[in-house]
Amino acid sequence: MPAPAPEGTFREGLDAEIAMQELPELLALVRTNGPSKLAQEAAGLSKLPPDERRQVLNAYRQADDADDARPHAFFARVLFQPLAEHLAAIPAASLEGFSGMVCPVCGGKPLVAVLRPEGDGGKRFLVCWFCTTEWEFRRILCPFCGEEDHAKLPRYAAEGIAAVRVEACETCHSYLKSIDLTVDGHAVPLVDEVATASLDLWAMENGFQKIRRNVMGF
């Protein structure tokens, strides 16, 4: 399989005008039902003229993923991610044999790992933060620096959250969470990743940095 396209190249294929059309409805929804801080951001973005709103969306589309903390990034990400998923929809068979550390479709970093049942155990997959493409990845391997020493790749779990773990690397001090479908077949990886923010707080307090933050900034 060819090397993944850079994130910037993939994002150029996303139509900002479609996002612009959906933005007012999203802002209204967040102003009414969102947390106070997010509702305030939605109100502020609503007051901007159309050209400035378009600039906000395009700035996010063109920025690298380290820039996700910029103002209004939440809204841009919510709007562009479904478009990215649609653009990235490709047959799973075409991903066979790919095992890189970034998404084979858009070059994005992994947001979460998933263990899917296979035989008597589980097979590990990574899920792209941007287009949600899923690809197979070795279980004993850091998806950030490539460390493969089992002793340097600890896994941490919390009582009461059996299906979700922190997978850390003591070499690069990065981590991501893993959703184990062999433990809970009803878990929804992207939802459970966001819902277990307490594990993110624990990991950060212990000196680990997440490979890629989720839509809520954790």
Give the total number of structural domains in the chain.
2
Are residues 97 and 197 both part of a single domain?
A: yes
Are residues 50 and 15 both part of a single domain?
A: yes
What pLDDT, in 10s, does the model give residues 128-152?
A: 998 899 999 999 999 999 999 999 9
- Residue that finishes a domain, picked among 64, 88, 112: 88
Cα distance between residue 9 and residue 22, in whole Å:
23
Are residues 83 and 102 both part of a single domain?
A: no
Residue stretches of the chain with pLDDT short of 50: 1-2, 66
Residue 150 confidence (pLDDT): 96
Q: Amino acid identity of 164? A: V
Please give the residue range of the domain that contains residue 59.
Answer: 7-88
Are residues 113 and 202 both part of a single domain?
A: yes
Residue 61 maps to a domain: yes
Residue 216 maps to a domain: no
- CA atoms within 13 Å, Cβ hemisphere of 36: 0
Q: Amino acid identity of 40? A: Q
- Residue that finishes a domain, picked among 54, 88, 122: 88
Are residues 62 and 22 both part of a single domain?
A: yes
Are residues 74 and 108 both part of a single domain?
A: no
CB atoms within 10 A of CB 2: 6
Residue 51 maps to a domain: yes
Q: Amino acid identity of 133? A: T
Residue 96 maps to a domain: yes
- Give the residue from 106, 109, 97 showing the smallest Cα distance to 137: 97
Are residues 67 and 26 both part of a single domain?
A: yes
What pLDDT, in 10s, does the model give residues 85-121?
A: 888 876 555 666 677 899 888 888 999 999 999 887 8
Residue 215 maps to a domain: no
Whichever domain contains 126, its CATH number is: 3.90.1670.10
Assessment of whether the complete model's pTM goes beyond 0.95 = no
Mean pLDDT over the full length of the chain: 88
- Residue that finishes a domain, picked among 43, 62, 88: 88
- Give the residue from 111, 72, 67, 88 showing the smallest Cα distance to 13: 88
